[in-house]
């Protein structure tokens, strides 16, 4: 099936129960990587929003209007993100955008003024790129901490353990550069040099050269700014050639996918920074709600950080839609989201304002345990 036909079919398939193609629907546009190297992550992103939107629709919608989640696949390709976003924003019924992925992808939307020209909020994008946060832009409402927050946390943990020879393996694009910059700043703060920065080409898992360079400097810790497949490829090959450094990765990877691709023997001990609380144990009310709705609306899906993060983002967006009133417009949704301050999602508080678009700076590091499960 051609990409355009696939995207249209998927958008139709994900139209939520009780929703019809009518102007009364509140249409939410989502461009996600449902094919290519980030396909499993993209699928989880869509599910996280869908289960909450379906829950809201089952309870009567928002001011009597149903939410319709319109999804298109960009394959994690920057030009496709731009093209599909323009197509979505050309539809007047689309009142907001939700859950896009990729620092470079979303950065292109800003540099080409796609969001500004469309006048719609983008809520809970799956990226921590600092260039999407500074300088301030009014269009993006971030749910997660930035990569600078995550890398600071990982460098702090590594140096506390006495690991001062730190290397970086990074995706050679805006995403990877954002994380690399964060590591550099965290090391400079501690007056430490970067052992080596070894990149790999975007949309590939060609990491042999990165493995060689990092092994050569005998790093004590390696911070990876990478997505699932290249991360797994690096972990597997690095361990196979005798690399013994403590490995860390930014929050955008799925530990189950890493274990599957790299093997448990190689993945065991990998530290992964997280930007939302642990979703596997229902200690918080919002985690219990997420687990319940996942079982109810997506029983074939497993609990994971990605779908939980987008579930939280969906709750933020729904609150903005409620506050926008019965005649929601793109401008009203933005104004409404700016009032979502000290808002409790169920044990997690988010804060936005006319001057602030970063709802949370929560970070913690988890570890892949001996059984393959993620441990706090």
Q: Which CATH class is domain 147-274?
A: alpha beta
The pLDDT, as a whole number, for residue 34 is 97
Query: Which tokens sit at 183?
Result: 């590591």
pLDDT tens, position by position, 272-325: 999 999 999 999 999 999 999 999 999 999 999 999 999 999 999 999 999 999
The second-level CATH assignment, the architecture, of 3-146+283-350 is 3-Layer(aba) Sandwich (3.40)
pLDDT tens, position by position, 112-135: 999 999 999 999 999 999 999 999
The b-or-e profile of 5-44 (16+ CB within 10 A means b, else e) is eebbebbeebbbeebeeeeebbbbbbbbbbbbbbbbbbbb
**Are the folds of 3-146+283-350 and 147-274 the same?**
yes
pLDDT tens, position by position, 156-207: 999 999 999 999 999 999 999 999 999 999 999 999 999 999 999 998 999 9
Band the pLDDT of 361: cuts 50, 70, 90. very high
**Is residue 11 pLDDT above 80, yes or no?**
no
The pLDDT, as a whole number, for residue 37 is 87
**Which residue pairs, CB below 8 angstroms and at least 24 apart, start in 131-136?**
131/103, 131/107, 131/174, 131/178, 132/103, 132/106, 132/107, 133/357, 133/358, 136/355, 136/357
**Is residue 225 pLDDT above 70, yes or no?**
yes
- Structure-model confidence comparison of residues 271 and 37, the more confident one: 271
pTM for the whole thing? 0.88
Domain extents in the chain: 3-146+283-350, 147-274
The pLDDT, as a whole number, for residue 3 is 43
């Amino acid at each position: 099936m051609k990409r355009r036909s696939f995207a249209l079919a998927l958008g139709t398939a994900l139209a939520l129960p009780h929703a019809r193609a009518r102007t009364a629907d509140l249409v939410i546009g989502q461009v996600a990587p449902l094919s290519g190297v980030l396909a499993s992550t993209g699928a989880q992103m869509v599910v996280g929003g869908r289960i909450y939107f379906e829950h809201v629709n089952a309870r009567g919608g928002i001011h009597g209007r149903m939410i319709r989640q319109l999804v298109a696949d960009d394959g994690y390709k920057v030009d496709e993100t731009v093209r599909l976003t323009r197509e979505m924003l050309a539809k007047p019924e689309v009142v907001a955008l939700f859950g896009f992925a990729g620092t470079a992808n979303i950065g292109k939307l800003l540099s080409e003024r796609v969001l500004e020209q469309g006048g719609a909020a983008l809520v809970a994008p799956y990226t921590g790129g600092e260039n999407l946060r500074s300088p301030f832009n009014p269009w993006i409402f971030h749910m997660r901490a930035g990569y600078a927050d995550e890398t600071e946390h990982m460098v702090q943990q590594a140096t506390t353990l006495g690991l001062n020879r730190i290397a970086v393996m990074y995706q050679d694009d805006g995403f990877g550069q954002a994380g690399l910059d964060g590591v550099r700043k965290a090391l400079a703060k501690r007056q430490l040099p970067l052992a080596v920065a070894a990149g790999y080409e975007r949309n590939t898992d060609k990491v042999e050269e990165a493995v060689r360079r990092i092994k050569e400097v005998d790093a004590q810790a390696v911070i990876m700014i990478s997505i699932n497949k290249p991360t797994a490829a690096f972990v597997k090959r690095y361990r196979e050639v005798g690399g013994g450094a403590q490995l860390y990765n930014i929050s955008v990877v799925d530990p189950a996918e890493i274990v599957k691709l790299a093997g448990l023997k190689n993945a065991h001990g990998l530290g992964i920074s997280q930007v939302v609380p642990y979703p596997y144990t229902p200690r918080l009310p919002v985690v219990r709600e997420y687990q319940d709705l996942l079982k109810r609306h997506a029983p074939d899906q497993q609990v994971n950080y990605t779908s939980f993060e987008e579930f939280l983002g969906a709750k933020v967006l729904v609150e903005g839609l409620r506050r926008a009133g019965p005649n929601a417009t793109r401008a009203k949704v933005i104004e409404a989201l700016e009032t979502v301050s000290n808002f409790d999602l169920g044990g997690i508080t988010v804060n936005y304002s006319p001057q602030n678009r970063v709802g949370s700076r929560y970070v913690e590091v988890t570890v892949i345990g001996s059984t393959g499960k993620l441990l706090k």
